[in-house]
Amino acid sequence: MAGSDVVQKAPADAGRLFDLLVPGLYAWGVTVAWPVSSRFASLASRIVALVAVVALVAGSVLRASSPALARIIGIWVFLASCVAAWSLVGSPVMPSHLDPVQGLLGAVGWALFAVGWAGQKRIPPGPVELAPVATQPAVPRKRQPRRSVFVLTVVAIAAAIPMALAWWVESVERALLAHAVSLAAAIALITFAADVFDPRSRQIERAVALVRPEKRLLDAAPVLVALLALTLAGAAYYLLR
């Protein structure tokens, strides 16, 4: 019985190692090995790129025996080494030098790398205790009020505007920054709006209802004062220039 377990476990471990290693090697090959192999790349960037691939292999191999250490080495050391290699290599990875097709292939590689490492669920070491069966029938979800649907739609449209505007930025470097900023802003806006109207946040809503409006204003006062000061400073600059 134990022998058959070992036989079954070996291909599973090999498959898992393959799942972790191949996407990382592909992403590394397309986005790191390519720029550091250029003629003008420094020796330091090549060494750091080598450290990255060693970290990836070590992390993938350690995944079965020491998952926590494997994640530190396989994800964080690998990513840090890749970023260091990019910063040391200089001009070959400047946005104006990037080939769109290669950039797309690299993005796919990094997405696969992220999926490969994210797919490893932590399994509790001991026997799993099943949750007690609910004795009360599940309460169906309430329909979203029209007000929340309207606000969510308006926020989604408003969040899409910066993303659309980013496509009109002409300079390549600025366009990249504009896309990054607008994407981050859209994610922040929609996440927050969705969280506010999520039925799961009813408990927080009930707690908020207990907080008096004056206290809510008081809580937000430092940020609102800073915002007011910034707005006034902007207006003064606009009028005086």
Burial annotation 197-223 (CB, 10 A radius, 16+ → b, else e)? beeeeeeeeeeeeeeeeeeeeeeeeee
Nearer to another protein, 14 or 226 (CB): 226
Give the largest CA-CA distance in the chain: 85
Tell whether residue 187 is a contact of another protein (CB under 8 A).
Answer: no
**Could you identify the residue written with the tokens 């969040």?**
159
Is 152 near another protein (CB under 8 A)?
Answer: no
Q: 84 near 48, Cβ under 8 Å?
A: yes
Q: How far apart are CA 153 and CA 147, in angstroms?
A: 10
Q: Does 192 bind another protein (CB under 8 A)?
A: yes
Query: How many residues belong to the site for another protein (CB under 8 A)?
Result: 44
Min dist. Cβ of residue 222 to another protein (A): 8
Q: Write the DSSP string, 165-207.
A: HHTT--SHHHHHHHHHHHHHHHHHHHHHHHHHT-GGGHHHHHH
Among 69, 172, 211, 232, binds another protein (CB under 8 A): 211
Q: How far is the CB of 169 from another protein (least distance, A)?
A: 4
Q: Which is nearer to another protein, 58 or 169 (CB)?
A: 169
Tell me if 217 contacts another protein by CB under 8 A.
yes
Q: Using CB under 8 A, which residues numbered 167 to 186 contact another protein?
A: 168-171, 174, 177-178, 181-182, 185
Residue 142 C-beta: closest distance to another protein, Å:
19
Residue 124 or residue 222: which is nearer to another protein going by CB?
A: 222
Task: Tell me the DSSP string of 68-114.
Answer: HHHHIIIIIIHHHHHHHHHHHH-GGGSGGG--HHHHHHHHHHHHHHH
Q: Which of 84, 112, 158, 194 binds another protein (CB under 8 A)?
A: 158
202 binds another protein (CB under 8 A): no
Contacts of 229 (CB under 8 A, 6+ apart): none
- Interface residue list for another protein (CB under 8 A): 151, 154-155, 158-159, 161-162, 165-166, 168-171, 174, 177-178, 181-182, 185, 188-189, 192-193, 196, 204, 207-211, 213-217, 219-220, 223-224, 226-227, 230-231, 234
